[in-house]
Structure 1
């Protein structure tokens, strides 16, 4: 998978320390060679929930078959 800055991605694993769950949507804010990516996840009101460095395998591109949803945030 090739990612670019500001691409929208979907988290594929749980990150309980960050309050994130699979399916959460974020934006790519940095790319690190060979397989790192920094992603910002925000609440529905635009507040940053988490800024995390992940492996590219931890996210996937958003696609036409995805449905956006809202869930309550758990305190990290």
Structure 2
């Protein structure tokens, strides 16, 4: 798929080295066209307060645009369950 700059996208696979999971939302900040290779995109991922978590360069096949069926969720860095 061809993504435009500043489009929100959803990550399709985990990126554990950056503490990102499939379903995390990022914004396209750059497009990379290299002849003979799949188009790549630099994607900036944010926390809920707008702080940058990571900027990754990913092939377009690992991204998709949000749909009306998607719902935002919250996932904390540290999960503690208290009853």
Establish whether TM, by shorter chain, passes 0.5.
yes
Separation in structure 1 between the aligned mates of residue 70 and residue 56 of structure 2, nearest angstrom: 22
If the length of structure 2 is used for normalisation, what is the TM-score?
0.85
Separation in structure 2 between the aligned mates of residue 39 and residue 63 of structure 1, nearest angstrom: 18
- Name structure 2 gaps, 5 residues minimum: 79-83
Higher relative contact order (CA 8 A, sep 6+): 1
How many correspondences in the alignment? 74
Q: Deviations over 1:47-66 (max 9, x none)?
A: 10000000000111111110
Aligned-pair distance for 1:4?
0.3
Instruction: Name the residue aligned to 2:27.
Output: 27
- RMSD over aligned Cα atoms: 1.0
Instruction: Name the residue aligned to 1:41.
Output: 45
Q: Which runs of 4+ in 1 moved over 6 A?
A: none
1:65 aligns to what SS in structure 2?
coil
If the length of structure 1 is used for normalisation, what is the TM-score?
0.92
- Name structure 1 gaps, 5 residues minimum: none
Query: What pairs with 1:10-25 in structure 2 (closer than 5 Å)?
Result: 10-25=10-25
